[in-house]
């Protein structure tokens, strides 16, 4: 007689937690902040590659603002705050904003 063992079945319940909403980070041009500083902030705080950071900086310079990246809301707030603090500490008015995806 062969014994058959039923496979173990686990029920995974979905929770009510939702993924955090994504936000677009936007950089705004100003006439004071040096381009090199802007590129450095984009690389060190927003983790853009050097070519991408330069591209974003130039787009903001030409068009007045430029898309940086899309990230979760809390991360966008954190990075924008850090960028504003870093720029302010150097006396630059560099400004970022965010908008829902």
pLDDT at 48: 98
Q: Give the pLDDT mean for 46-54.
A: 98
> Domains of the chain (ranges plus CATH)?
22-100 (3.30.1390.10)
pTM for this predicted structure: 0.82
Q: Give the pLDDT mean for 14-24.
A: 81
The interaxial angle of helices 35-44 and 73-89, nearest 10 deg, is 140
Burial of 88 (0-12, 13-18, 19+ CB in 10 A): exposed
The span from the CA of 20 to the CA of 27, in Å, is: 22
Averaged pLDDT of the chain? 92
């Amino acid at each position: 007689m062969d014994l058959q063992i039923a496979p173990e079945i686990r029920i995974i319940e979905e929770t009510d937690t939702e993924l955090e909403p994504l936000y677009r980070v936007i950089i705004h041009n100003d006439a004071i902040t040096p381009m090199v500083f802007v590129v450095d902030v984009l690389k060190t705080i927003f983790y853009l590659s050097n070519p991408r950071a330069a591209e974003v900086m130039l787009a903001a310079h030409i068009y007045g603002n430029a898309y940086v990246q899309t990230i979760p809301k809390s991360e966008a707030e954190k990075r924008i705050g850090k960028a504003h603090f870093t720029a302010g500490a150097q006396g630059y008015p560099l400004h970022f904003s965010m908008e829902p995806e």
